[in-house]
């Protein structure tokens, strides 16, 4: 253990934001039950029908803009863990919402991008973006219209900050996966990487994920219950439990 308390990496997915009123992807009432991945979440879909893809993200961005979506007890518990933990801590989220930062998390990686940012595919500049995007939207940096896109990672694209994540996983003593089904790589492979580094692994989810057998311990239930419980017991212990 690099320091007395131990290094923690937490991975979150859509399940942690479900009780804040945001949909997951693969649950029966999830986003992929309403729209096809191939129509909205690939570079090919964007090339084929950019207005359709813009509308999908504009709708989701509007929900955030209109308010009413608030961080829940699970987001708040992870912010508390970051503040009170004496060792290293990195929160990696697959979510493109901003609920972790609004809860107070700071050491945070959005590996699949951020809904409230836009990127120019021509000059690569990334800006905070709260309005609708469309083909007529001009890039504030280079002035070109037609090349603005949501700053999100679609299937077939490289997730963000993989070097930083890889380094944290290689050094971690505890890896915790929260609210993710384990369908999407490379995030679904992090538990193996952490185990390879000798870390203890824990899953907090509504139900066992695809990779459930890879975790040393698990707690199943809604995130607003199981995450605060887990954080409280970890902080009470003060160090990553051995073995």
List contacts with ligand BJW (CB under 6 A).
13-15, 18-19, 24-27, 30, 41, 94, 96, 112, 152-159, 162, 179-181, 183-186, 205-207, 209, 222-223
d(CA 13, CA 197): 22
Query: Alpha-carbon torsion 191, 25, 222, 82, what sign?
Result: positive
CB 24 within 8 A of CB 32: no
Cβ closest to ligand BJW, residue 28 vs residue 67: 28
d(CA 95, CA 14): 6
Closest contact distance (angstroms) between CB of 126 and ligand BJW is: 15
Closest contact distance (angstroms) between CB of 84 and ligand BJW is: 22
Closest contact distance (angstroms) between CB of 123 and ligand BJW is: 22
Query: Alpha-carbon torsion 22, 25, 29, 35, what sign?
Result: positive
**Nearest one of 97, 126, 102 to 114, comparing CA atoms:** 97
Closest contact distance (angstroms) between CB of 25 and ligand BJW is: 3
CA end-to-end distance (rounded Å), the chain: 12
Which one of the listed residues 54, 100, 112, 151 is annotated catalytic? Answer: 112
Cβ closest to ligand BJW, residue 206 vs residue 235: 206
Closest contact distance (angstroms) between CB of 45 and ligand BJW is: 11
d(CA 111, CA 61): 18
Query: Alpha-carbon torsion 149, 152, 156, 160, what sign?
Result: positive
Cβ closest to ligand BJW, residue 58 vs residue 183: 183
- The region that residue 78 occupies, defined by phi over 0 for left and psi between -120 and 50 for alpha, beta otherwise, is alpha
Residue 112 is a catalytic residue: yes
Q: Which residue is nearest to ligand BJW (CB)?
A: 15
Cβ closest to ligand BJW, residue 138 vs residue 162: 162
Q: How far is CA 190 from CA 70, 99, 132, 172, 215, in A?
A: 28, 22, 34, 11, 11
Cβ closest to ligand BJW, residue 6 vs residue 110: 110
Question: Which residues belong to the active site?
Answer: 112
């Amino acid at each position: 253990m690099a320091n007395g308390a131990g290094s923690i990496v937490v991975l979150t997915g859509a399940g942690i934001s479900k009780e804040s009123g945001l949909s997951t992807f693969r649950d029966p009432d999830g986003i992929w039950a309403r729209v096809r991945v191939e129509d909205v979440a690939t570079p090919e879909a964007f090339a084929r029908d950019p207005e359709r893809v813009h509308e999908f993200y504009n709708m989701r961005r509007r929900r955030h803009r209109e308010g009413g979506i608030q961080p829940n007890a699970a987001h708040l518990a992870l912010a508390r863990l970051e503040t009170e933990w004496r060792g290293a801590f990195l929160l990696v989220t697959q979510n493109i919402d901003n609920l972790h930062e609004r809860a107070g998390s700071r050491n945070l990686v959005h590996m699949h991008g951020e809904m409230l940012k836009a990127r120019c595919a021509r000059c690569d500049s990334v800006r905070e973006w709260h309005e609708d995007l469309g083909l007529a939207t001009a890039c504030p940096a280079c002035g070109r219209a037609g090349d603005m896109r949501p700053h999100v990672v679609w299937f077939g694209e490289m997730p963000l900050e993989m070097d930083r994540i890889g380094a944290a996983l290689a050094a971690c003593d505890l890896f915790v996966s929260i609210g993710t089904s384990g369908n999407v790589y490379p995030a679904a492979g992090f538990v193996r990487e952490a185990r390879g580094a000798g870390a203890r692994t824990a899953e907090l989810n509504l139900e066992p994920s695809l990779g459930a057998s890879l975790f040393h311990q698990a707690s199943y239930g809604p995130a607003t219950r199981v995450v605060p419980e887990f954080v409280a017991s970890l902080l009470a212990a003060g160090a990553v439990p051995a073995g």
